[in-house]
Structure 1
């Protein structure tokens, strides 16, 4: 009798989903063991050679190799193992942009949190934080108690950023910026790439104390005259003044609508007339960015500085500029405490803005 799951892609996807945790962790473990790097240097290695390199028990290694082959990251040809094209491209080095760092970061930090998802949704709070010592309200702050895990987390974030940063760096608007404020700039990965590209640019990285210390030990240290590290908390401390552009790179997406508007208002308050901000989020290797705002463009505030309104008309896309609208269109204000708006923008309507 014909079984629909044998040919139905929906069934096949479901069965893959059921095995995904095991397959993901097999690939992440191979990355931790530097197996992809080994096979890059020794392609076609047979089982005994890999056994000698990893020093794993034979049965456990056989299971691991079977899993990594099943997920398509390794292939076995005539008894020898080879990296897949994707593994060779993304996982076979220890460079800062290797996705191996992201795989390991997810395995050690994010995957353990997923078991709390149902509980967290019901409680409307991050119950997974209990796994990390401390009473700080965010993961970033609690990780400061564990420097080894914090370093792993930021290597993963740097890898994730570097895999998608070219699209941001290529934005021609940065050629007109002289002083950037990089909110949540972390170890300086994004700032460094921008400074390498734009010689007129200097940057202030605004982040919590431990991350500013980390930035001082990375490539950010190669630009002592062009990078300033400013310690502070996003919501508790004022943003430093003096910048003519503000960057939120992989920052806003983790916050609520109200918190996002609070941060955008703080950015607005420290920017001079005609300045703008850019915000990026990332899916896979493609940077999904809200358009950078310029003076005189469609993404401008209303003429009255006191009003500080941006009009988000129906149909505005997540990554596009707000278009000029008639006075009858419904606005939302950039301050959460403002009144006069009948609806908050949803995630598909957020856009960039200029002063």
Structure 2
């Protein structure tokens, strides 16, 4: 049988194409776990504490790992440009790259160590069931951890240890993005601020730093407030106070401005409107609500991070990431007007709606 010229051309074209992107995507989890493991073992912390580059043998002893495994891990981290490899008279040693020093060491003010820890030990396990989440259309706590997700935050805060891990995640995120979102709009007219679901208080601290005349009330579940007081917010900070409660059930403190940072993306549209109606009722005349979320493009084309986060909301919560138009619709349904949004250029953006 004669060979089809068209078919031959198509095979030839395919053979000349190297699927670089596809291969990178297939192996993406290898990169994540290399980073996670290096942080978990404390590789970057050991190097930070040394006055000179260290050999693989020195690092392996310091972190309590095999020499062979450590050598391979260090080589991969060098390939990822997280470590710098030095060679002197045939002796190989390693030091932290600047990004690793800033973001991967536990003692750095900009450390993402706790975020990495949460991704490795919680989110990574949930994503093992992404296929089931897509099929079922709901989160996967029961399969991943054997706990019911009937009460979402009972599942997320399923132990004191897990609660602290989640709060540390939030703390590290706002260390990186907090200033940008609270200064996306001029919030200085709002003197009394209520941070609903304020968690570790990191965003509240950014508010009091950016707006010296404001006070911030952190509203959260009683056990979260207890942990925040114990681990995150100093008692001598007179401008930050706490209010215990469930924002779907209990009375909200009166305020000029309510902040919902990474809150609405946890919930369905119906639950979002329910919460926003409660905020509108409690809000002082002339007040406002600030939403802090990763905004999707209106045509659904990106950003990729927000698209992936929306998948994560499927795996972990009842909600989704949304566009600024979708958030504006939720705010409008609750009575808010003069709605604006601001893209920060980082992961999280801001949407501001006013009470007329």
Q: TM-score, normalised by structure 1?
A: 0.74
Conservation of the 8 A alpha-carbon contact between 2:101 and 2:108 = no
In the alignment, the residues of structure 2 paired with residue 224 and residue 332 of structure 1 have an alpha-carbon distance, to the nearest angstrom, of 32
- State the partner residue of 2:230: 217
Helix, strand or coil at the partner of 2:53: coil
Q: CA deviation at 1:191?
A: 0.7
Q: Secondary structure at the match of 1:98?
A: coil
The aligned residue for residue 269 of structure 1 is 281
Partner of 2:249 in structure 1?
236
Residue deviations 1:117-151 (CA, integer Å, cap 9, x gap): 11122222212344435545345323544222221
Report the equivalent of 1:186: 199
2:292 partner SS:
strand
Matches within 5 A, 1:150-299: 150-171=163-184, 173-223=186-236, 225-240=238-253, 242-282=254-294
Residues 1:39 and 2:47 aligned together: yes
Aligned residue number for residue 77 of structure 1: 86
Query: Is the Cα–Cα contact under 8 Å of residues 247 and 275 in structure 2 kept in the other structure?
Result: yes
Please say if residues 244 and 272 of structure 1, whose CA atoms lie closer than 8 Å, have aligned partners that are also in contact: yes
Name the residue aligned to 2:353: 353
2:116 partner SS: helix
Check conservation: 1:188, 1:220, Cα contact below 8 A.
yes
Which of 28, 31, 34 is the equivalent residue of 2:36? 28
State the SS of the aligned residue for 2:284.
coil
1:58 aligns with 2:67: yes
Task: Structure 1 unaligned segments of length 5 or more: list them.
Answer: 289-316, 323-329, 337-349
Distance 1:178 1:331 in 2: 25
Structure 1 residue 22: Cα displacement = 1.8
> Who is 1:342 aligned against?
none
Checking the alignment, whether the CA contact within 8 Å between 1:97 and 1:158 is kept in structure 2 is no
The question of whether the paired residues in 2 share the 8 Å contact of 1:120 and 1:126 is answered with: yes
1:129·1:139 contact (CA, 8 Å) conserved in 2?
A: no
8 Å Cα contact 1:169/1:194 also seen in 2: yes
Distance in 2, Cα, partners of 1:221 & 1:156: 19
Shift in CA distance, 129/15, structure 1 to aligned 2, threshold 3 Å: same
User: How far did 1:164 drift?
Assistant: 0.4
Q: Tell me how far 1:353 sits from its aligned partner.
A: 1.9
Q: Give the distance between the partners of 1:269 and 1:187, measured in 2 at CA.
A: 26
- Tell me how large the CA RMSD over aligned residues is: 3.1
- Which gives a bigger RCO, structure 1 or 2 (Cα 8 Å, sep 6+)? 2
User: Distance in 1 between the 2:288 and 2:246 partners?
Assistant: 21
Match of residue 86, structure 1, among 99, 110, 114: 99
**1:80–1:64 distance in 2 versus 1, CA, 3 Å:** same
Q: Of 145, 155, 159, which residue of structure 2 is paired with 1:132? A: 145
| Partner Cα separation in structure 1 for residue 80 and residue 230 of structure 2 | 36
| Kept in 2: contact 1:120–1:127 (CA 8 A) | yes
Q: TM-score, normalised by structure 2?
A: 0.74
More helix by share: 2
Contact 1:39 1:83 in 2 (8 A): yes
The separation in 1 between residues aligned to 2:183 and 2:330, in whole angstroms, is: 31
